[in-house]
Amino acid sequence: MTEAPATPAQAGDARLPQRLKNLLNDRHIVLIGLMGAGKTSVGKRLAQRLDLPFVDSDHAIEEAARMSIPEIFANRGEAEFRAGERKVIARLLSGRQHVIATGGGAYMDEQTRQHIRESAVSIWLKADLPVLMKRVLRRPTRPLLQTPDPEGTMRALMEKRYPVYAEADVTVLSEESTHETAVQAVIDALDAHLSGAKGEEES
């Protein structure tokens, strides 16, 4: 039995990961956004699609400290967690190309933002409050949300952080859709951003 030739769309899709990797030119892809935005789930799938290694900065921090994030907050406090986070992310960014999912507060650090600008393309996974709350309630261990009013805390974080997250190179809405749909949206947005940037350089 002979196989039907690939349609142009299929053929194009098969070449897309390589095309994106060429355009990335060894830069990392860094996912930013609030807790519950889907950075880890989307990041893992994105890495698979692009055939790149994946790393979650929170996991790297836990490995380095040999403690879970809630334990670090409880035993060392937030300031020490942030210092460790800055150090671990700097190490990841100076290593070989990865898709990197960061913790929600990482991009708020000026030095980390500067490193990301220098060595990565940043993608903000943006979601509304109800979507974030639905997702974070599935894993109710996040230290910053151990407050009498987690929804109010999340709203305050949105107000403070969204203007800074908006500095990311690319913004993708991460709504109720499946992670696969979100990954495709990220790939399309990344393609548009990188192709546009290349076009500008050439013109």
Give the contacts of 107 (CB within 8 A, at least 6 positions apart): 32, 113, 116, 122, 161, 164, 165, 168
Q: Applying CB under 6 A, which part among 5-13, 100-108, 126-134, 168-176 lies near ligand S3P?
A: 100-108
Does residue 144 interact with ligand S3P by CB under 6 A?
yes
- Residue with Cβ nearer ligand S3P (72 or 194): 72
Give the contacts of 164 (CB within 8 A, at least 6 positions apart): 107, 108, 113
Does residue 150 interact with ligand S3P by CB under 6 A?
no
Which pair of tokens denotes residue 155? 């709203």
Three-state DSSP at 164 gives helix
- Residue with Cβ nearer ligand S3P (5 or 140): 140
- Residue with Cβ nearer ligand S3P (108 or 170): 108
Residues 40-99 that bind ligand S3P (CB under 6 A): 58, 69
Find the shortest distance in angstroms from Cβ 59 to ligand S3P. 10
Contact by Cβ (8 Å): 106, 61: no
Find the shortest distance in angstroms from Cβ 143 to ligand S3P. 5
Find the shortest distance in angstroms from Cβ 141 to ligand S3P. 9
Three-class DSSP labels, 43-79:
HHHHHHHHCCCEEEHHHHHHHHHCCCHHHHHHHHCHH
Q: Cβ–Cβ contacts within 10 Å for residue 107, how many?
A: 23
Q: Binder to ligand S3P among 30, 35, 186, 190 (CB under 6 A)?
A: 35
Q: Applying CB under 6 A, which part among 114-122, 139-147, 181-189, 192-200 lies near ligand S3P?
A: 139-147
Q: Binder to ligand S3P among 103, 135, 169, 194 (CB under 6 A)?
A: 103
Helices 150-165, 129-136: crossing angle, 10 deg rounding: 120
Size of the site for ligand S3P (CB under 6 A): 10
Find the shortest distance in angstroms from Cβ 7 to ligand S3P. 38
Q: CA-CA distance, 73 to 142, in Å (whole number)?
A: 10
Does residue 104 interact with ligand S3P by CB under 6 A?
yes
Contact by Cβ (8 Å): 65, 72: yes
Q: Which residues bind ligand S3P (CB under 6 A)?
A: 35, 39, 58, 69, 103-105, 142-144
